Amino acid sequence: MASSPDVPSDGNTPENPGNGSPSEAPQTDRAAAGGERRGRVRARRAAVMAVPATLVAAGLAVLTAQGALGVQFAISGMPFTVTATDLTGTGFEQFGGLDNMADGSPNAGDSGGQELVVTSAIKNATLTKLCQSVDLGGTNLLIRAGGGDTPVSASDLTTDSTQLSGDAAFNNIEIGNDASTLTKAGVKGPIGVFSQQADTVHIANLRQTNYATTAGVFKLPGLKLGFSSKGC
């Protein structure tokens, strides 16, 4: 994400600024352009970092509407990693969907501004040793919680993921439901979409690549937020 510094070419130094070709911009102009690019990069990183910081300040309480299809906001298009040594939940649902970026998002690439995701919904969940990290290009915004005696807890939790791994166990699972008929977590998907649901879910060594997370209530005991050279 960071811009490359302006490096003088051979024979083109401050003492010998070039051959005078009109195609070469003055060095001061190039420096100003480089500063402007770096300024935009810093502004973009600041905007990204402001999102989780604001959520923390607000108690990470985001209301999820009854019957909503996964996430109802424009995603940034920047994936983030979530890990936990243990996730235990009651009322589990899972189905496919599409997340949409804001119009003109610089992260759209060749995707057309859409990401194919798997939405996982859990009515009530606890997570032990939760870690969340966002790669900002050279550094990571890192959030940790639930590492002590009290785990992280969430109600009406949904995650939109492109990857999920761990050692999973389900109780009273139903596979092949129409997503519009789900009942276990209070979230319904689109009609005609394959889905599954279960009374309970347990996942050890959870690891997710997510594009969005929402929750009715999200409690993070022992919260620590900072920057790190490594993600989760």
Q: What is the pLDDT of residue 211?
A: 97
Neighbours of 55 (CB within 10 A): 15
Q: What is the DSSP string of 90-148?
A: EEEEEEEEEEEBPTT-TT-TTTTTEEEEEEEEEEEEEEESEEEEEE-SSSEEEEEE--S
Of 143, 125, 167, give the one whose Cα is nearest residue 52: 143
Q: What is the pLDDT of residue 56?
A: 35
Q: Per-10-residue mean pLDDT for the chain, 232 residues long? A: 44 46 47 48 42 35 37 88 98 96 93 94 98 95 96 97 97 97 95 97 98 96 96 96
Q: What is the pLDDT of residue 42?
A: 47
Q: What is the pLDDT of residue 54?
A: 33
Q: What is the pLDDT of residue 38?
A: 47
Q: What is the pLDDT of residue 160?
A: 96
